[in-house]
Amino acid sequence: MQESNRVEFKSVLNEKMEREIVSFLNNQEGGILYIGLDDNGHPTGSMDLDETQRKIADRIKNNILPSTLGLFDIVTEEIEGLSVTKVLVSSGPEKPYYIRNYGMSPSGCYMRTGTSTQPMPTSLIDDLYAKRTHTTLRNILSPRQDLTFSQLKIYYEGRGLKLNDQFANSLELLTPEGKFNYIAYLLADENGVSIKVAKYAGADKVDLVENEEYGYCSLIKAAFNVLNKMKIENITYAKVTSTRRLESNLVDPVAMREAVVNCIVHNDYTHEIPPVFEIFNDRIVMTSYGGLIPGQSVEDFFSCSSMPRNRELMRVFKDVGLVEQLGSGMSRILKAYSRDIYQISDHFIKVTFPFEDGITLEQPAEGTDHVRDVRDVRDVRDNVRDENRSDAYGNQIRTVLRDDPKATAKALSESLGISVRQVGRIVKRMRENGAITRVGSDRKGSWKVN
């Protein structure tokens, strides 16, 4: 590994860090800053990682404008047996970025030239500012101002995080005038946004057999529901060879999950068109609206460097565990599939996952068997659905029961937005797994969270 237009080494955290971060924010491909590597890429191993990372986060948030929320990630990486700090920086959508104390001038704006960081010429600063996109979700007024965020709080608490009274400001859910913006609308308990998942009997759209919608709720909840649905549909098939039986999913599960999240978090909601997911008998197709981000090339898109369209949503998705780190999703997809699965137009990005080995839901490929017959597959899907719901809602149920040990199935149903019957199955599984215990009778007792 060596320094490049996208990679910079620093042996220690110094006063020049903001310059490097600004230059990566202004770079079309973003960049990576390593703290704890010498000029040759060898670790120095001489710093307090936790304290260093805390200082980095504070300085990026407080010393750079416009807001960098959702545009950087700080992780630890092992190099030559030693831990170093890795700062992943996205290309920012509101260029030019600059150091707060020096303003939008050559002293505050920086750019990458080869392996060095240079002051940005005044002419380029003016040009970038003139092209700056101001129609971000943060600046669009929510259609409603009577928003509540119980679902969002539950997901945060499920990750061990708590939203305080200032969360709307810290998550940038407010317009400059202090009103709820469109990000708040998307994350609220109730909204008018719904994500469609359609299932067809054949390879075309002639015979629609399912048309489910996940939405009118927090986009986070909708995203988890879509992921659960796609996981259920991604059933396992077995291919019998002369020596052994090989089982695999219709679609690589890791790549599919990353594509679902990308489709939802990078969709252009300014035109009020949500993403669409379609399941055919030979493929799964995911379509997000918006095309490439202005200034982003096709190579940028596939470079595995993050350039989020909705950085505020990206930050929240990362907080609740839907995104691991910036730029990681595309690399996981391309590890299993080629670029050919993507179709990019001016207004849409479509990704098509063909089923493995030519399998279709109507007829297995030669040498391939369904894992079980239709009736057993249905039973397996029900079990998978319950397991998925336990995973998705388990933390939420624990949070509710900690606050109200006497909460009823009906109360849990209303809080989670699922049926009482579904709550009963998930609670039963949680009791069997020892996650919760009933103390006293079913009628007058209470719940204990283990």
Domain membership of residue 52 (yes or no) is yes
Q: Are residues 246 and 232 in the same domain?
A: yes
Which residue, 321, 345, 371, sits at the end of a domain? 371
Residue 276 amino acid letter: V
Domain membership of residue 301 (yes or no) is yes
Alpha helices in 162-239 (DSSP H): 167-170, 182-187, 219-233
Q: Tokens 């030979």 — which residue?
A: 282
User: Could you give the CA distance from residue 124 to residue 182 in angstroms, rounded to a whole number?
Assistant: 31
Q: Are residues 333 and 239 in the same domain?
A: yes
Ordered per-residue pLDDT tens for the chain, 450 residues:
788 989 999 998 888 999 999 999 999 889 999 999 998 899 987 678 889 999 999 999 889 988 887 788 899 999 998 999 999 998 888 899 999 999 899 999 999 999 999 999 999 998 888 777 555 788 888 989 999 999 999 999 999 999 999 999 999 999 888 999 999 999 999 999 999 999 999 999 999 999 999 989 999 999 999 999 999 999 877 665 556 666 778 899 999 999 999 999 999 887 778 999 999 999 999 999 988 876 678 887 887 656 778 889 999 999 999 987 666 788 889 999 999 999 999 889 999 999 876 555 554 444 444 443 333 444 444 454 455 445 567 778 888 888 888 888 888 888 777 778 888 888 888 888 888 998 888 778 899 888
Which residue, 322, 343, 371, sits at the end of a domain? 371
Domain membership of residue 307 (yes or no) is yes
Q: Tokens 């609220």 — which residue?
A: 188
User: Could you give the CA distance from residue 124 to residue 106 in angstroms, rounded to a whole number?
Assistant: 10
Q: Are residues 123 and 141 in the same domain?
A: no
Q: Are residues 146 and 83 in the same domain?
A: no
Domain membership of residue 376 (yes or no) is no
Q: Are residues 162 and 112 in the same domain?
A: no
Domain membership of residue 2 (yes or no) is no
Q: What is the CATH number of the domain that holds 408?
A: 1.10.10.10
Q: What is the CATH number of the domain that holds 297?
A: 3.30.565.60
User: Which pLDDT does position 255 carry in this prediction?
Assistant: 94
Alpha helices in 113-213 (DSSP H): 122-131, 150-158, 167-170, 182-187
Q: Which two tokens stand for residue 60?
A: 């990026």
User: Which pLDDT does position 320 carry in this prediction?
Assistant: 93
Q: Are residues 340 and 207 in the same domain?
A: yes
Domain membership of residue 378 (yes or no) is no
Which residue, 89, 105, 131, sits at the end of a domain? 131
Q: Is 154 left (phi over 0), alpha (psi -120 to 50) or beta?
A: alpha
Q: Are residues 363 and 309 in the same domain?
A: yes
Torsion of CA 236, 241, 245, 247, to 10 degrees: -20
Residue 235: HSE in the Cβ half-sphere, 13 Å Cα cutoff = 24
User: Could you give the CA distance from residue 236 to residue 232 in angstroms, rounded to a whole number?
Assistant: 10
Domain membership of residue 377 (yes or no) is no
User: Which pLDDT does position 391 carry in this prediction?
Assistant: 54
Q: Are residues 169 and 207 in the same domain?
A: no
Beta bridge partners of 237: 248, 370
Q: Are residues 339 and 390 in the same domain?
A: no
Q: Are residues 203 and 181 in the same domain?
A: no
Q: Are residues 408 and 287 in the same domain?
A: no
Q: Tell me the pTM.
A: 0.62
Q: Is the dihedral of CA 135, 320, 438, 426 positive or negative?
A: positive
Residue 327 gets which letter from DSSP?
T
* Structural domain count, the chain: 4
Secondary structure (3-state) at 425: helix
Of the candidates 152, 158, 188, 189, the one whose C-alpha atom is nearest the C-alpha of residue 403 is 158
User: Which pLDDT does position 305 carry in this prediction?
Assistant: 59
| Residue-range definition of the domain harbouring residue 415 | 384-449
User: Which pLDDT does position 133 carry in this prediction?
Assistant: 59
User: Could you give the CA distance from residue 379 to residue 402 in angstroms, rounded to a whole number?
Assistant: 32
Residue 416 amino acid letter: L
Q: Which two tokens stand for residue 92?
A: 């920012």
Q: Are residues 179 and 203 in the same domain?
A: no
Domain membership of residue 48 (yes or no) is yes
Q: What is the CATH number of the domain that holds 44?
A: 3.30.950.30
